[in-house]
């Protein structure tokens, strides 16, 4: 027995030594791939030397003698910090992940090849000016200079070694493809149309109508077309690839009349996925021709959001209906022919064979009708379908967003900035603007289609010329406000038009609570400071509860006659309606609210259709409004009434909460459930990767409907919010205030890898200078060598 124990210990010892050796070897390799950010490096593509100073938060301040060298250096520096992220982004958008990941990514590649983002980027490139094309190529030169340097020194980011491949050279189209991916992430409504089509074909008409929230008037012919030619929806799409419904943002701008300094204040916090590294990369770019600071997507030149010495700007998503689905009728004898005005038209058939790591290539074709790509039948083949969906989308047309960005960076006033916006087509964005001259302004900017028939709320027949687009809302008729009497402008993906606006944008706006809270605070005060704007970005007031909680509690009290839930009701009645981490009430309220659509809809739909159903919150909000107003709809009536639905949902959510957190309500805390982690792309591969690549989970306040946006999954994991927060004081644009969560660098060995997680959770902003010396900076000199 002793000898067996001794042998076991010897074996364990060997395993520990081997594991430690492997860890040290891996640690050495990872450390070796850490980029050089101090001292000097020779960069052959430069005309003259460039200085890169990273401040104490890892923000690179690039100073170059020309714009040409500035964009080359921007590409080089982005690649230093984010090359693997850049490569993954272009691969996902292009549909080439399987080439380096393997068979698990084939369906994802099919999806993105069908959505044709790279093809759209290639088409867009041809429409750019020579100057913009030159910027794209200069940026690519800088990226490729780093790739070649890292390959020669065997210092490529360690993720490439983990996956066993070497990155290909960067191209101009790669940058544009990443831009198209952002249009995909922010500009989608196709899933809404697909689910509505399913509802019309599988539910009673009145029940289907209630899922629309605002049912389209005079749409009987379109409804009939949807019912006469049903397209398979269940089992056809992967809900995980649908753009997240909480992709939104807050922004606002105040005139000098409402500020302490007498100059405007601007705040912006775009809401996207929370990951490691951040989707945003903060930079400061300076040459004799420009001086601009802010953020950009890794892989793209310029600064998309931020400020220069004269102006500041920010965006939120408009969310217009810019994707239409067409019900296409294929020829039963030749599926590449589609009916149009009584004749069969040949679709374009594009060979999109997918290369797969360690496996055979996967043949795949994308069919494109006159309206756009066929998006049905992506994952599963159905024998001779009688109807399929094609998609028309503004982003699949040639667009020139980078042209706009480059001009925005050099704009000095509202007139020059608005001229630049004319090239910003997709995704449509709510731009807020402020200038040192005191101007504040707003524009809902982008291509928004005008339809021949219908308002884009349902799929339409693809076999008739009666349907389709006949242009876009004219640029000078897009929603626009300059220097309003109220002294401020704010947007939060809320409805931005009134009944008198002559064009259709959408009927599916975000829930109003973030906007209402921002407007409430800004209306109530004056003499605001930048610090007040930062505090408002972290505001946790829950106006959702203000609207509904009283009625919901009355439903519980009406049925809970034996007062089984009295303690919990008391907690909610005494709640100050802030989503604070130490409070039990937000935990009870949000789990209750999230359970409402589950209770009502989940058993009535296929799982994937339910998961695709957008706007569940808006739908159940309207069902409750109608129910409590004494006008219950079909869903509520069939369930047994508003009180029974709300009470039964309450019981289910309380049972789940009790199981997870115990029966002592006094010990329940929002922060024990609602936590953020910023997951890395590789962290799901193994628990070991997760422990090294993800920051430790932290409890965080706010929620999906508070100004401090923190949307969460069913397990409480916060996965959407504001990766970047920004405040600019126009009284002094020599600096501005930022947070980039979780940090600037994509390299695990960098001190800036997760350096801003605590700042993000607590709302601690850092000041980034635009003019003057960078204190405590780390200086890297990029030395131009002979070409």
Indicate the angle between helix axes 117-125 and 106-115, nearest 10 degrees: 40
The torsion of the CA quartet 181, 186, 187, 190, rounded to 10 degrees, works out to: 90
Residue pair 249/268 in contact by the 8 Å Cβ criterion = yes
Q: What is the pLDDT of residue 690?
A: 86
Across 360-372, average pLDDT: 96
**Can you state the percent helix, strand and coil of the chain, rounding each to 5?**
40, 20, 40
- Is 324 annotated as contributing to ligand binding? yes
**CA 280/CA 348 separation, integer angstroms:** 36
Is 638 buried (19+), middle (13-18) or exposed (0-12) by CB count in 10 A? middle
Q: Nearest Cα to 325, choosing from 457, 419, 208?
A: 457
Per-residue pLDDT tens digits for 133-181: 999 999 999 999 999 999 999 999 988 988 899 999 999 999 999 999 9
Task: Please give the pLDDT value at position 213.
Answer: 77
pLDDT band at 9 (very low <50, low <70, confident <90, very high): very low
Tell me how far apart the alpha carbons of residues 197 and 191 are, in angstroms, rounded to a whole number: 10
Q: What is the mean pLDDT of residues 454-461?
A: 92
Kindly calculate the radius of gyration of the chain based on its CA atoms and give it in whole angstroms. 27
Predicted local confidence at residue 683, as pLDDT? 84
* Alpha-carbon span 47 to 67, nearest angstrom: 11
Q: Residue 609 — pLDDT band, cuts 50, 70, 90?
A: very high
Q: Minimum mean pLDDT among 640-644, 666-670, 687-691: which range?
A: 687-691
Q: Whose CA is closest to 284, among 735, 764, 763, 600? A: 735
Distances (CA, A) of 734 to 183, 408, 617, 730: 32, 18, 42, 9
Q: Which residues are within 8 A (CB) of 314 and not within 5 positions of it... i.e. 6 or more apart?
A: 251, 253, 266, 267, 268, 270, 305, 431, 432, 726
Place 26 in a pLDDT band, splitting at 50, 70 and 90.
Answer: low
Quick: pLDDT tens for 192-232. 999 999 999 999 999 999 998 777 777 788 999 999 999 99
| Two structure tokens written together for 403 | 């042209």
- pLDDT at 685 exceeding the cut of 50: yes
Task: Give CA–CA dist 399/391, Å, rounded.
Answer: 17
Q: How high is the pLDDT of residue 246?
A: 62
**Is 247's pLDDT higher than 70?**
no
pLDDT in tens, 698-735: 999 999 999 999 999 999 999 999 999 999 999 999 99
Task: Estimate the crossing angle of helix 67-94 against helix 172-186, to 10 degrees.
Answer: 60
pLDDT of 15 strictly over 60: no
In this prediction, residue 447 carries a pLDDT of 97
**Among 608, 610, 685, 598, residue whose Cα is nearest residue 649:** 598
Q: What is the mean pLDDT of residues 563-573?
A: 97
What pLDDT does 377 receive?
Answer: 73
pLDDT tens digits for 31-83?
888 999 999 999 999 999 999 999 999 999 999 999 999 999 999 999 999 99
CB atoms within 10 A of CB 523: 13
> What pLDDT, on a 0 to 100 scale, did the predictor assign at position 215?
74
Q: How confident is the model at residue 563 (pLDDT cuts 50, 70, 90)?
A: very high
Q: Would the pLDDT of 19 be above 50?
A: no
Alpha-carbon distances, residue 186 vs 4, 190, 331, 396, 671 (angstroms): 62, 12, 34, 14, 29
Distance, in Å, from the CA atom of 729 to the CA atom of 534, rounded to the nearest integer, reads 11
Average model confidence (pLDDT) across the chain: 93
At 188 the pLDDT is 80
With residue 54 as reference, give the H or E element that holds it. Answer: strand 50-54
**Separation between Cα atoms, residue 495 and residue 319, nearest integer Å:** 10
- Size (the chain), residues: 787
Q: Which candidate in 116, 249, 287, 653 is catalytic?
A: 249
**Residue 12 predicted with pLDDT over 50:** no
The string of pLDDT tens digits covering residues 109-123 is 999 999 999 999 999
Q: Which residues, 6 or more positions from 180, have their beta carbon under 8 angstroms from its beta carbon? A: 93, 117, 118, 120, 121, 124, 395
Residue of 205, 228, 227, 209 whose CA lies nearest to 217: 209
Rounded alpha-carbon distances, angstroms, from residue 754 to 150, 648, 743? 23, 42, 5
Joined tokens for residue 689:
């990767």
- Does the N-terminal peptide bond of residue 277 adopt cis geometry, omega within 30 degrees of 0? yes
Q: How confident is the model at residue 488 (pLDDT cuts 50, 70, 90)?
A: very high
Structure tokens at 726: 């920004």
Question: Residue 372 and residue 377: Cα distance in Å, rounded?
Answer: 15
Mean pLDDT, to the nearest integer, of 617-638?
96
Q: pLDDT tens for residues 504-558? A: 999 889 999 999 999 999 999 899 999 999 999 999 999 999 999 999 999 999 9
The confidence score (pLDDT) of residue 426 equals: 95
Residue 667 pLDDT greater than 50, yes or no: yes
Give CA–CA dist 750/742, Å, rounded. 12
Verify whether residue 686 is a known catalytic residue.
Answer: no
Tokens linked to 5 = 């124990």
> Is residue 300 within 8 Å of residue 178, measured between CB atoms?
yes
pLDDT of residue 7 exceeding 80, the answer is no
Model confidence at 382, pLDDT cuts 50, 70, 90, reads low
pLDDT of residue 378: 61
Q: Is the pLDDT of residue 293 over 90?
A: yes
Angle at 429 between CA 426 and CA 431, to 5 degrees: 135
List own/partner pairs for 361-368 with CB under 8 A and 24 or more apart.
362/98, 362/106, 364/110, 364/113, 366/113, 366/114, 366/116, 367/335, 367/336, 368/116
Whether pLDDT at 389 is above 50: yes
Q: Is the pLDDT of residue 8 over 50?
A: no
Whether 498 contacts 235, CB under 8 Å: no
Tokens for 511?
A: 């829930």
Task: Work out the widest C-alpha separation in the chain, in whole angstroms.
Answer: 89
Specify whether the CB–CB gap between 571 and 588 falls below 8 A.
yes
Cα distance between residue 29 and residue 168, in whole Å: 21
- Quick one: pLDDT band at residue 384, thresholds 50, 70, 90? confident
Predicted confidence at residue 238, as pLDDT, reads 85
pLDDT given for residue 404 in this prediction:
98
CB 596 within 8 Å of CB 646: yes
For residue 634, count other CB atoms closer than 10 A to its CB. Answer: 16
pLDDT reported for residue 22: 45
Tell me the two tokens of residue 573.
Answer: 């009645």
């Amino acid at each position: 027995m002793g000898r067996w124990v001794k042998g076991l210990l010897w074996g364990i010892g060997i395993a520990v030594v081997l594991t430690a050796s492997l860890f040290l070897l891996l640690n050495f390799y990872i450390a070796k791939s850490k980029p050089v950010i101090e001292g000097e490096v020779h960069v052959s593509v430069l005309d003259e030397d460039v200085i890169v100073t990273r401040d104490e938060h890892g923000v690179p301040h690039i100073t170059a003698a020309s714009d040409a060298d500035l964009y080359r250096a921007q590409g080089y520096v982005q690649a230093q910090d984010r090359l693997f992220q850049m490569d993954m982004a272009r691969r996902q958008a292009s549909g080439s992940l399987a080439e380096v990941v393997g068979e698990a990514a084939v369906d994802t590649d099919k999806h993105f090849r069908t959505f044709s983002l790279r093809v759209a980027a290639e088409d867009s490139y041809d429409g750019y000016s020579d100057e913009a094309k030159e910027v794209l190529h200069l940026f690519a030169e800088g990226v490729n200079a780093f790739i070649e340097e890292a390959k020669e020194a065997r210092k490529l980011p360690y993720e490439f070694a983990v996956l066993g491949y070497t990155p290909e050279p960067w191209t101009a189209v790669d940058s544009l493809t990443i831009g198209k991916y952002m249009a995909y992430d922010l500009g989608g409504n196709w899933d809404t149309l697909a689910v509505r089509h399913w509802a019309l074909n599988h539910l009673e008409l009145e029940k289907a109508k209630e899922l629309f929230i605002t049912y389209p008037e005079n749409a009987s012919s379109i409804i009939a077309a949807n019912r006469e030619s049903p397209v398979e929806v269940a089992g056809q799409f992967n809900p995980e690839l649908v753009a997240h419904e909480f992709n939104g943002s807050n922004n606002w701008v105040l005139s000098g009349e409402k500020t302490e300094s007498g100059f405007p204040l601007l705040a912006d916090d775009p809401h996207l996925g929370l990951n490691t590294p951040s989707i945003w990369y903060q930079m400061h770019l300076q040459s004799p021709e420009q001086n601009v600071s802010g953020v950009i997507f890794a892989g793209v030149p310029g600064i998309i959001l931020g400020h220069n010495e004269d102006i500041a700007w920010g965006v939120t998503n408009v969310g217009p209906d810019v994707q239409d689905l067409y019900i296409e009728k294929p020829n039963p004898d030749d599926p590449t022919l589609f009916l149009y005005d009584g004749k069969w038209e040949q679709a374009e058939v594009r060979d999109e064979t997918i290369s797969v790591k360690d496996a055979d290539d996967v043949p795949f074709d994308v069919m494109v009708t006159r309206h756009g790509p066929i998006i049905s039948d992506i994952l599963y083949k159905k024998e001779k379908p009688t109807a399929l969906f094609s998609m028309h989308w503004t982003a699949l047309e040639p667009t020139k967003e980078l042209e706009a960005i480059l001009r925005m960076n050099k704009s000095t006033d509202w007139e020059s900035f608005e001229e630049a916006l004319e090239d910003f087509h997709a995704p449509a964005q709510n731009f807020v603007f402020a200038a040192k001259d005191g101007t504040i302004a707003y524009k809902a900017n982008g291509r928004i289609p005008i339809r021949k028939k219908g308002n884009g709320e349902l799929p339409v027949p693809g076999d008739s010329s009666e349907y389709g687009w006949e242009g876009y809302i004219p640029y000078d008729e897009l929603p626009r406000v300059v220097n309003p009497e109220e002294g401020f402008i704010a947007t939060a993906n809320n409805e931005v038009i009134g009944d008198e606006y002559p064009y259709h944008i959408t009927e599916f706006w975000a829930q109003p609570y973030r906007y209402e809270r921002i407007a409430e605070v800004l209306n109530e005060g004056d003499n605001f400071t930048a610090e007040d704007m930062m505090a408002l970005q972290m505001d946790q007031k829950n106006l959702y509860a203000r609207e509904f909680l009283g009625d919901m509690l009355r439903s519980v009290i009406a049925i809970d006659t034996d007062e089984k839930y009295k303690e919990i009701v008391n907690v909610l009645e005494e709640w100050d309606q802030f989503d604070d981490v130490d409070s039990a009430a937000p935990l009870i309220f949000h789990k209750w609210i999230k359970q409402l659509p589950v209770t009502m809809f989940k058993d009535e739909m296929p799982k994937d259709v339910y998961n695709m159903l957008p706007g569940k919150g808006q739908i159940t909000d309207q069902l409750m409004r109608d129910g409590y107003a004494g006008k219950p709809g079909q869903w509520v009536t069939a369930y047994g009434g508003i009180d029974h639905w709300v009470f039964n949902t309450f019981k289910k959510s309380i049972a789940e909460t009790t199981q997870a957190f115990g029966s002592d309500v006094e010990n329940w805390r929002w922060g024990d459930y609602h936590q953020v982690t910023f997951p890395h792309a590789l962290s799901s591969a193994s628990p070991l990767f997760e422990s090294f690549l993800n920051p430790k989970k932290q409890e965080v306040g706010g929620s999906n409907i508070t100004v401090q946006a923190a949307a969460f999954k069913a397990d409480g994991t916060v996965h959407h919010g504001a990766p970047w927060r920004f405040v600019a004081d126009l009284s002094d644009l020599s600096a501005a205030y930022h947070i980039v969560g979780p940090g600037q660098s994509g390299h695990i060995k960098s001190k800036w890898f997760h350096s801003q997680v605590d700042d993000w959770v607590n709302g601690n902003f850092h000041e980034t200078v635009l003019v003057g010396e960078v204190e405590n900076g780390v200086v890297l000199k990029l030395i131009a060598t002979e070409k």
